[in-house]
């Protein structure tokens, strides 16, 4: 082993008997699919075999192979001592004393200042949830669903009442989407098992979706936001080109799966109306069946049984299916605009190996606070704070926001805040800009 001292008993995958010291150069060699090491608090771990059993999915932990994962480790795990029990058998050594604690060009001062802020927020109780907040949120979802059914069952299924019923159900579905997001991030209960259980209830019984599908997909997005090949939220099936780099790459290679210079137009016909009712619904069902996730499938089945029990007597089978699709159609518009206005106009690039604060701020922006914006977006108008502290209950984002902004100012990191309207407009503007870059490269490079 060059430059990193001596190693005893080079650990097999998943072995924990090694006591070597390593340089970053040596750690970074272990970043392939079949050979993965990472660093947490200067300790080097071989996660090659453990990745397959990782509760959050193999991909998210593999995204940090060959890197320092300390900040991500602290961000995602509420009980670090409990998780340490799983890491200990994977230990193969530590970084050499001459090596910095962080890899690449990461700024140690930013990392330290952000860690101090996170520790202070924990001391102030900002990671403790208010049960009443989430009870009221669940209550208003159940009330909307009940009122929608009572309305059409008692007053009839005229077009006007059916439309109003669809709007109420779409509102309930959207708000249930924000609520399952809370439990999925382990931000409600102190014990993870209760968060997981209620998450399955909300996303399964109230929405007909899969908790495991959501976990494995969404945490990748948080771990490496707006990073090609690592963030599934920017995997566009070649329907769109995003950011400033991908359009030029496609243009130079003369890749033209779609007329990308018009993507800001056909976006309205593809993404908002079809993401949930077509792509997500198909993908969720396929994932549960192919992975034999019978528990999540059972939870999702209870949603469909309840829905058809309530609405087939009123609309018939085909009418109930049509109403369900229309509800998903409305919800999809809501979901796409809220989630994309925080990320799509921001930097979208290949892996940059940045510190947590810089990475999240370059890929995320906020929308102005108001009672409506908070409710409409599930507090994801505080997307910056949510990405920095994914386990923090959303009702506390505003309490830490000013200190986040001050930290960004100290280190010269832009902290972007927009109006709701500008956030939506910027989605279209960014698509047009990327499309223009593609066309220029396609014709002239």
Domain co-membership, 52 together with 121: no
pLDDT digits (tens, 9 = 90+) for 52-80: 999 888 999 999 999 999 999 999 999 88
> What is the number of residues in the chain?
445
**What's the pLDDT band for 14 if we cut at 50, 70, 90?**
very low
The pLDDT value recorded for residue 84 is: 85
Dihedral over alpha carbons 64, 68, 71, 76 (to 10 degrees): 30
Domain co-membership, 55 together with 139: no
171 Cβ neighbours under 8 A, 6+ residues apart: 144
Q: Which one, of 287, 321, 319, lies nearest residue 304 by Cα?
A: 321
Which of 104, 124, 142 is the last residue before a domain boundary?
104
Which of 87, 104, 121 is the last residue before a domain boundary?
104
Full 3-state SS string of 387-414: HHCCCCCHHHHHHHHHHHHHHHHHHCCC
Q: Tell me, what DSSP letter sits at residue 233?
A: G
Q: Are 14 and 90 in contact (CB under 8 A)?
A: yes
196 Cβ neighbours under 8 A, 6+ residues apart: 183, 186, 211
Query: For tokens 């805040």, what's the residue?
Result: 417
Domain co-membership, 144 together with 91: no
In this structure, how many other beta carbons lie within 10 angstroms of the beta carbon of residue 180?
23
The answer as to whether 10 is a domain residue is no
Answer whether residue 175 shows pLDDT above 50.
yes
Answer whether residue 264 shows pLDDT above 90.
yes
Domain co-membership, 71 together with 161: no
Domain co-membership, 271 together with 347: yes
The answer as to whether 440 is a domain residue is yes
User: What does pTM read for this prediction?
Assistant: 0.93
Q: Residue 82: give its domain's CATH number.
A: 3.10.120.10
Mean pLDDT of the region 202-210: 98
Q: Are 20 and 6 in contact (CB under 8 A)?
A: yes
The answer as to whether 210 is a domain residue is yes
The answer as to whether 245 is a domain residue is yes
End-to-end CA distance of the chain: 45
- Per cent of the chain over pLDDT 70 is 96
The answer as to whether 4 is a domain residue is no
Q: Report the Cα 143 to chain-centroid distance in Å.
A: 28
> Domain count of the chain?
2
Q: Tell me, what DSSP letter sits at residue 52?
A: G
The pLDDT value recorded for residue 12 is: 44
User: Taking the alpha carbons of 19, 23, 26, 32 in that order, is the dihedral positive or negative?
Assistant: positive
Domain co-membership, 207 together with 293: yes
Mean pLDDT of the region 185-194: 95
- Per cent of the chain over pLDDT 90 is 91
Domain co-membership, 188 together with 73: no
The pLDDT value recorded for residue 57 is: 87
Look at 12-21, 29-38, 296-305, 345-354 and tell me which has the smallest mean pLDDT: 12-21
The pLDDT value recorded for residue 11 is: 44
Q: Which one, of 108, 98, 105, lies nearest residue 23 by Cα?
A: 98
* Cα separation values, 194 from 127, 189, 191, 198, 324, Å: 16, 6, 6, 6, 30
The pLDDT value recorded for residue 1 is: 37
Domain co-membership, 209 together with 87: no
The answer as to whether 3 is a domain residue is no
What is the Cα–Cα distance from 93 to 27, expressed in whole angstroms?
A: 10
The answer as to whether 322 is a domain residue is yes
Domain co-membership, 210 together with 303: yes
The answer as to whether 44 is a domain residue is yes
Domain co-membership, 254 together with 185: yes
pLDDT digits (tens, 9 = 90+) for 383-436: 999 999 999 999 999 999 999 999 999 999 999 999 999 999 999 999 999 999
Domain co-membership, 232 together with 91: no
Which of 104, 132, 158 is the last residue before a domain boundary?
104
What is the Cα–Cα distance from 346 to 352, expressed in whole angstroms?
A: 15
Helix spans in 185-293 (H) = 192-200, 211-223, 245-252, 263-274, 281-290
Domain, as residue range, for 32: 20-104
pLDDT digits (tens, 9 = 90+) for 287-298: 999 999 999 999
Domain co-membership, 48 together with 195: no
The pLDDT value recorded for residue 13 is: 42
pLDDT digits (tens, 9 = 90+) for 77-120: 998 888 888 899 999 999 999 999 999 889 999 999 999 999 99
């Amino acid at each position: 082993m060059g430059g990193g001292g001596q190693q005893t008993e080079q650990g097999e995958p998943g072995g924990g008997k090694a006591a070597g010291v390593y340089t970053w150069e040596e750690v970074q060699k272990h970043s392939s699919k079949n050979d993965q090491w990472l660093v947490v608090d200067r300790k080097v771990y071989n996660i090659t075999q453990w990745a397959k059993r990782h509760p959050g999915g193999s991909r998210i932990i593999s995204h940090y192979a060959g890197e320092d994962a300390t900040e991500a480790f602290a961000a995602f795990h509420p009980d670090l001592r409990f998780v340490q029990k799983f890491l200990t058998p994977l230990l193969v050594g530590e970084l050499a004393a001459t090596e910095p604690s962080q890899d690449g060009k990461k700024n140690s001062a930013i990392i330290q200042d952000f860690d101090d802020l996170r520790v202070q927020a924990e001391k102030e109780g900002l990671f403790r949830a208010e049960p009443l907040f989430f009870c009221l949120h669940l209550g208003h979802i159940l009330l909307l669903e009940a009122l929608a059914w009572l309305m059409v069952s008692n007053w009839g299924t005229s077009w006007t009442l059916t439309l109003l019923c669809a709007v109420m159900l779409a509102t309930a579905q959207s708000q249930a989407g924000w609520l399952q997001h809370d439990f999925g991030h382990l931000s409600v209960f102190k014990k993870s098992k209760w968060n997981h259980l209620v998450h399955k209830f909300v996303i399964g019984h109230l929405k007909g979706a899969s908790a495991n599908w959501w976990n494995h997909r969404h945490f990748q997005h948080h771990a490496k936001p707006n990073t090609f090949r690592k963030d599934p939220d920017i995997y566009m099936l070649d329907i769109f080109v995003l950011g400033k780099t991908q359009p030029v790459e496609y243009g130079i290679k003369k890749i033209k799966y779609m007329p990308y210079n018009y993507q800001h137009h056909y976006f309205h016909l593809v993404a908002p109306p079809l993401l949930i009712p077509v792509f997500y619904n198909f993908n969720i069902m396929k994932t549960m069946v192919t992975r034999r996730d019978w528990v999540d499938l059972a939870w999702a089945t209870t949603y469909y049984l309840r829905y058809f029990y309530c609405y087939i007597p009123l609309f018939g089978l085909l009418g109930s299916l049509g109403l369900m699709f229309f509800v998903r159609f409305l919800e999809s518009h809501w979901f796409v605009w809220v989630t994309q206005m925080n990320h799509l106009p921001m930097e979208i690039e290949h892996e940059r190996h940045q510190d947590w604060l810089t990475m999240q701020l370059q890929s995320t922006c906020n929308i102005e606070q108001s009672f409506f914006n908070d409710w409409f977006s599930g507090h994801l108008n505080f997307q910056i704070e949510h990405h920095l502290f994914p386990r923090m209950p959303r009702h506390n984002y505003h309490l830490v926001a000013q200190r986040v902004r001050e930290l960004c100012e100290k280190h010269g990191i832009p902290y972007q805040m927009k109006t709701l309207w500008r956030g939506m407009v910027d989605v279209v503007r960014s698509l047009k800009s990327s499309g223009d870059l593609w066309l220029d490269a396609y014709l002239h490079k």
